[in-house]
Amino acid sequence: MFRLVTGIPGPSGFGSASTAEQVTQGIDASNLTLVITGGAAGIGFETARVLALRNAHVIIAARNMEAATDAKQKILKQNDRARVDAMMLDLCSIRSIKEFAERFYALNVPLNILINNAGIMFCPFQLSEDGVEVQFATNHLGHFYLTNLLLHKMKETAKLTGIQGRIVNLSSVAHNYTYKKGINFDKINDKRRYSDKKAYGQSKVANILHANELSRRLQAEKANITVNSVHPGLIMTNLFKHSATLMGFLKLFSFFMWKNVPQGAATTCYVALHHQLKDSTGKYFNDCNEYKPSKLAKNEDLAKKLWDFSNKLIDSALAKNAETSL
């Protein structure tokens, strides 16, 4: 807490006051291609902007193509040499994710970094297109499926180039505030037991569990790819649209804990790009430093159960989509 409030750097040399530009200063990413979900606004846009500034080829994957195209133009206006593209992706739809992956593979470009950034927060109860509670579907399941589909390209790129691939899952300190068992596997769609805050926390602990389990599996394969999760910090963005009044009130009493957008994008950019993180995998970062997540987030059995559960949900959605297309 002391470092958060004061901004004093941690062991990495960076801290809560560091910005995305500062943590990537002097890094040339011209040999890297990355996909970032939700890169059209908020900390996602700042992440995309800064990584493009460091010469990476940035592919913004977003549901709102008008906003994504506008984000691309803003980046190009600031940096006319930037390599940035925008592609349609709705993480709340298994069909859309599959179509995105197909279009991405058709580009025939490498993939070094995947940043699973997009998310929704504190939503009223609703189901996704595939019949899954929408926060879990968007924040976890969509990214889980997207990562699975793009993993072959990342392995191929790492093998051909010798450059270590990196996957970054955006979680949140809110992963500490979830349902008692962490994930309500048998009640994922139970409207009666639904809590918008705990459902969000559930999706965020799932982000860490996913990163940790994928990291273990990739290490077992000896694949040259790392997987880590991050807490960007408290930032007032469009994520709070369902609770803006409450968050605004709370911010009055906790203003010293909040970050601006450039600071909010720092940890993601640090974990995605900095040379200090070579070979670092299966870890959780906060304020650009390694941090201990909750016990539930470190539970290997829970992570394995979530992995199998997620695959079953995806298989079910794919089967239903196949039936409707007949």
> In terms of Cα–Cα distance, which of 184, 145, 92, 136 is closest to 312?
145
The catalytic position among 145, 194, 200, 284 is 194
The dihedral over CA atoms of 27, 31, 37, 41, expressed in degrees to the nearest 10, equals 50
> In terms of Cα–Cα distance, which of 90, 82, 46 is closest to 64?
90
What span, in angstroms and rounded, lies between the C-alpha atoms of 291 and 140?
Answer: 21
> In terms of Cα–Cα distance, which of 59, 89, 88, 55 is closest to 72?
59
> In terms of Cα–Cα distance, which of 12, 5, 71, 66 is closest to 41?
71
> In terms of Cα–Cα distance, which of 296, 263, 301 is closest to 17?
263
Q: Which residue has the tokens 């829970």?
A: 302
> In terms of Cα–Cα distance, which of 230, 216, 227 is closest to 20?
230
Contacts made by residues 95-102, CB under 8 angstroms, sequence distance 24+: 95/129, 95/321, 97/142, 97/145, 97/146, 97/149, 98/145, 98/149, 98/318, 100/61, 100/146, 101/146, 101/149, 101/150
Task: Count CB atoms within 10 A of the CB of residue 12.
Answer: 18
In total, the chain counts a number of residues equal to 326
**Contact assessment for residue 284 and residue 266, using Cβ atoms and an 8 Å cutoff:** no
Would residue 194 show up in a list of annotated catalytic residues for this protein? yes
What span, in angstroms and rounded, lies between the C-alpha atoms of 319 and 303?
Answer: 24
Active site residues: 194
